[in-house]
Structure 1
Amino acid sequence: MKRPADRIFCSEAVGGVHQDQSAIYNMQLGFAAPTAGPLAAASTSESSLTFNNLPAGSRKRPREFSEHALSFLGEDFSALVQQQMLHVDCLVLHHVEKVRMESVERLKRFLRRVLATVEEGVSKRLRAKEEEMERLKNLNWALEERIRGLCVENQMWRELARSNEAATHALRANLDRALAAAAEAEAKAEAAVDDAESCCCGGVDNAEAERKRVACRLCGEKQPAVLLLPCRHLCVCAACGPAVAVCPVCDCDKSGSILINMS
């Protein structure tokens, strides 16, 4: 069922075409349908094939012929034919418009699908790039933390090396002093032996006293060989060194000991 607007559009679009072609339709239907009146007595020589050779007075007959061509059994079908042709033209125009709209809609759907596909691809690539940037950011942060940790560890090792170096120098100085004290004690012992040889009775007592002075302060028999720290007294032998907790000379608490090879 067509709307009134469609009918008006179709009528305006094809009205002029039907006015120009009305004579052709009338002539075609006139040749196919029987006619009445003046056209019944027309001769063969007055057909449309010899229309251009007729005199001026006979040129009115095609118009008369077209006026009565759509008459059949006394009824005029020209209005009906024009109405049917107008309806057909309206259907054609409506179908053309419908096809055009469908083509436009298909093109829009196709463009939307293409745009959606492109947007999806771009979105996937952007997400992949963002994930890669986030991963590199986390890796960079982890490397920075590792570098800071290594710097702190390096500083700690430097401090430890400096403290160990200072302790080494202190121990070397203590060892030098202990060796000097041992050499001095040995020189005194040799001097005491010489004095003992020069005297008889008194020399033996002095030698014994000197031996006890330079002997281990715990057992009193063996030669001192352990340097106590931090007081740095060389006053106990190797056997008594581990059992000593307090220096027998100054009563200082022992924090460590160094075994000195006197041989």
Structure 2
Amino acid sequence: MREEATAFVPGHVTGFFSAHPDEDPTKAGSRGGGLTLTDGVEVTVEPATETTVVLDGEPIEIDPVRTVLEALEVPARVEAESDLPLGAGFGVSGAMALGTAFAANQVFERRRSRNELVAVAHAAEVEAGTGLGDVVAQAQGGIPIRLEPGGPAVNELDAVPARARIEYVAFGELSTADVLAGETAKLSRAGEAALSRLVEEPTLECFMDASRRFAREAELLTPTLESTIEEVTESGGQASMAMLGETVFALGTGLSDAGYEPSVCRTHPSGAVLK
């Protein structure tokens, strides 16, 4: 047993998705497209007599993290640090679950493979209702295209072969669990159409266009998000909504050119790693 281990997991912004439930959480998930970010979550795990979870110095309950530790049959202290806001569409809960899986596997010498750990974290997210596709995307990195849902044993992934500067502004939180627990048929139809467009033309420009159309067709845009995206478009940029949060993300200097003071990062070249 080691004293501690730390993993870094990139943030993930979903541009569009379709929901695919299944009784087996390792087979449930989403199809869709997104961006992984150099802004992410650093997760440190150390042995403890009982499990505690801390985010940016504050105790917090993140159900997927506890589920991951239960699956690995270990109690631990989990400390996470991130500049990304929770509940704003950046996959923070998924990142914490995946980072916990990687770091706990190292600390407690559980001898699980990468795919096994991704499956554990993915299932924990699905069971908690906090995400359907963040974990598998964060494990891969880049600009992943989720062609088939589920964990590593059943899903199919591709990617847009590009990198980009990304700007984002978070205005508030939306409940992923509430959206996923509601009627998702219309949302999923819009997501399938968006995926078809991106598969036909796997470019960043097409991803952004498909994401904007999805946000409108799925009727997820708040007035604030809609006006911000319009301002970026009028300034010659490309922007859309982060699923699922009250957040706008843009390529290049789109938000800056529209007069905002955004956070700035880049797409992440690879997936989650131990440090």
TM-score normalised over the length of structure 2: 0.16
Between Structure 1 and Structure 2, the one with more strand by share is: 2
> What is the TM-score when the length of structure 1 is the normalising length?
0.16
Higher helix share: 1
Higher radius of gyration, 1 or 2: 1
